[in-house]
Structure 1
Amino acid sequence: MELELTAATLLVTFAGVFLICFMKGAFGGGFAIVGIPLLSLVMDPITAGGLLAPLFIAMDLFSLRYWKAATWSKPDLRLLVPGLVVGIGVGYGLFRVLDQHAVAIAMAVVTLTFVGLWFKSGGEVRVRPRSSAKAVAAGVTSGITTMVAHSGGPPLAMYLLPLGLSKQVYAGTTSMFFTVGNLLKALPWLLLAKPTGNGLSLMMICLLAIPSGVWLGWRLHARLDQRQMYRACYGLLVVTAVKLLWDGVSGYMA
C-alpha cells in the first residue's frame, strides 16, 4: 500500500527523524528507537524501517563531522564489529520467522536488569576490564536486535558503559559502530520495504532535519560532564527497555 503523504505524516515523520538525529549528536547512536514510536503513529514498522534505512546512513555520515577517528575506541571496535556483521546476517535470515515480540520482551528484561544492578551499586561507573567474549556477544546481539527490533543500542551500551570510557570516546565509538551497522543493514531493509513514490519524497524532505538535529545534540553533549553523560545513557536505556517491553506485550494482546 502506498504511503499517504498527509500534513500529519510529514510533521510526525520529520519530528521523529529530528529526534533520532538529536540523539545521535548527543550520544553517538544506539538510541534510534526513541524516535521510532513517532513514525509508528503514521506508518507501519516495516515501512518505517525501509524509510529510515537510507536516512540512518545520511545521519551517520554527517555525524562523522563531530565524531572523528580520535573519538573511536579502536580496540573495542575491532572486537565488536565482526560480531555485528554476523548478527545482522543472522537477524535478516530470522526476520520472517523470529517472534519479534519475544525478542523485544527478552531485550527489555535484560536491559532493565542491567540498569537495576547499576542503580543498586549506587549509580557510579565501576570500571571493568575489557572482555573479548563479551564484546563479540554484544556485537552479535546488537546486530540481531537492530535488524529485528530496531534496538541495537542496549547490547552495545551494556558492554561499553562498564568500561568507563570518556564521554567523547563513548559517543564516538557508538557512532562508528552504528555507522558500520547501518551501512550493512540498509540493503536488507530496502529489500524488505523499498520506499517508492511518496515514501521517497518523504525521505528527501526528512534529509533537511539531519544537520540541525545532529548539531543540537552535539551541543547538548558538550554541556554534559562525564557523570551526567553516563546517567543520561542509563536513563535512556530505561526508556528504551520500557518501549521494547510495551511493544512486546502489546503485540501479544493485539
Structure 2
Amino acid sequence: MELNLVTVLVAFAGVFLICFMKGAFGGGFAIVGIPLLSTVMDPVTAGGLLAPLFVAMDLFSLRYWKPSTWSKPDLRLLVPGLVVGIGAGYLLFRVLDHRAIAILMAAITLVFVGLWFARGGEVVVRPRSSPKAIAAGVTSGITTMVAHSGGPPLAMYLLPLGLSKQVYAGTTSLFFTVGNLLKAAPWLLLAKPTGTVWSLMAICLLAIPSGVWLGWRLHARLDQRQLYTACYGLLVITAIKLLWDGVSGYLGS
C-alpha cells in the first residue's frame, strides 16, 4: 500500500464514517465504512489497520455510553459467546470460506429484516432467551473476526427485546468494545501491519473524536422509532454489502 494523499483521505473518510456509526448506534455497523477502505487497500491490510482503531473508537465511545446504558443481563449472556466465537474465528480464519459465510449471513439478515417489514415496521417484543443470546454472541464473534461484520447477529437478538434507544446503543457499544479488544491482537498477527500502515493508523486516530461526537448528536435527535428504523435500514445495507462480497468473490475466482 502506497501512502499518498488519496490513500490518506479515503482511509480517513472510512474511519470517520465508522466512528459516526459508533456514536449514533453504539457499533455493529463498521462494515459500512469498509468499502471506502477497500478502494485503496486489500481486505487483510484494512483489517490490520482497523483492529487497533476499533479499540480506540470504542474506548472513546464509552465516554457517551456509560454503564447506565448497558443491559447487563443481556451482556452476561452475550459476552461469553462472543469470546468463544472470536477464538473459533481466529482458528478458522484461513480455512473458512469467507464468501459462503458472507452470503449466508446476508440471507439470514434479509429474512430477519423482511419479517420486520411484513409486520409493518413494528417491534414485537420478545422475552430474553439464553440460548438465543449465546448463539448470537458466538455467531457475532466468528463474523466479526473473519469479516468485521458482527453487527447483524447481535442486532437480530437485541432489536426484538424492545430496549430503549440508549440501552440498545450502550449495550451494543460495550459488546463491541470487548470484542474489538479481544480481536485486536489476533488481527495484528494475521495482518502484520507495515510502517506505512502504522503511520496511516496514527493519522486516522484524528477522525475518532469528531466522528463519534457527531454520531452521538444524531442519536440524541432520533426518537425510539426512528432509531430502530435506521438500524433495520442499516442491516439491509450491511446484508447487501455481504452478499456482494460473497457473490463477487465466487465470480472473480
Q: TM-score, normalised by structure 1?
A: 0.99
CA drift of 1:236 comes to 0.2
* 1:102-251 alignment, distance < 5 Å: 102-251=100-249
Shift of 1:194: 2.0
- Secondary structure of 2:19's aligned partner: helix
Q: CA deviation at 1:6?
A: 1.2
Q: CA deviation at 1:220?
A: 0.1
Matched residues, percent identical?
85
CA distance in 1 between counterparts of 2:126 and 2:106 reads: 23
1:57 match: 55
Structure 1 Cα separation of the partners of residues 193 and 92 of structure 2? 22
1:35-92 per-residue CA deviation (whole Å, 9 max, x = no partner) reads: 0010000000000000000000000110010000000000000000000000000000
In the alignment, the residues of structure 2 paired with residue 176 and residue 145 of structure 1 have an alpha-carbon distance, to the nearest angstrom, of 17
Match of 1:48 in 2: 46
The CA deviation at 1:102 is: 0.2
For the residues of structure 1 that align with 2:201 and 2:192, how far apart are their CA atoms?
Answer: 12
Counterpart CA distance in 1 for 2:76 and 2:225 is 26
Q: CA deviation at 1:210?
A: 0.1
Q: Secondary structure at the match of 1:218?
A: helix
Counterpart pick for 1:37 among 35, 38, 61: 35
The counterpart of 1:12, out of the listed 10, 31, 49, is: 10
Alignment partner of 1:100 out of 84, 98, 101: 98
Aligned partner letter, 1:224: L
In 2: Cα distance, 1:126 partner to 1:117 partner: 11
Q: Distance in 2 between matches of 1:71 and 1:240?
A: 25
Query: Which amino acid in the other structure matches residue 83 of structure 1?
Result: G
Note the alpha carbon deviations across 1:152-189, whole angstroms, 9 max, x for none: 00000000000000000000000000000000000100
Q: 2:66 aligns with which of 65, 68, 72?
A: 68
TM score, norm. by length of structure 2: 0.99
CA positional deviation for 1:196: 1.9
What's the CA shift string for 1:108-154, capped at 9, x where partnerless? Answer: 00000000000001101111000000000000000000011111000
Q: Which runs of 4+ in 1 moved over 6 A?
A: none
SS at 1:207's partner residue? helix
Q: Partner letter of residue 238 of structure 1?
A: V
Mapped to 1, the partners of 2:134 and 2:83 lie a distance apart of 10
RMSD value, Cα: 0.4
SS in 2 for 1:208: helix
